[in-house]
Amino acid sequence: QVRLVESGGGSVQAGGSLRLSCTTFGFIYSRYKDYCMGWFRQAPGKEREGVAFIDSRGRTDYADSVKGRFTISKDSAKNSLSLLMNSLKPEDTAMYYCAAEPYCAISRRRYYEYTYEGQGTQVTVSS
């Protein structure tokens, strides 16, 4: 059974940094020729939006709102995913979720295109 667990959220002032981690249980990267991973966020009253994406080849993609500030990475040895967030803004405040999709050859930007998702970790940025 696959389970994803996010950690690293918290409260920070604008301009600060946070590093989110996603530990996977049962989602072994080496089992899949291709797979996709992503970070999504949802603020109160807003739709869930894609933030950053990475595939099995290490290709990355970002939402325009976070380009140049956020960096997604994966550790194949630990089957984990990370999101380094710099220069945080109040509008980055949201619940952040990691997601995983096996047998995925093309990056997917919508949360409903992923089979597995974690419970989320809260990020709050104050001005």
What residues form DSSP beta bridges with 71? 84
Q: Where is pLDDT greater, at 85 or 105?
A: 85
Write out pLDDT tens, residues 10-57. 999 999 999 999 999 988 888 888 999 999 999 999 999 999 999 999
Which helix (H) or strand (E) segment holds residue 101: the answer is: strand 94-102
Average pLDDT on 52-76 reads 96
- The CA angle 75-80-84, to the nearest 5 degrees, is 80
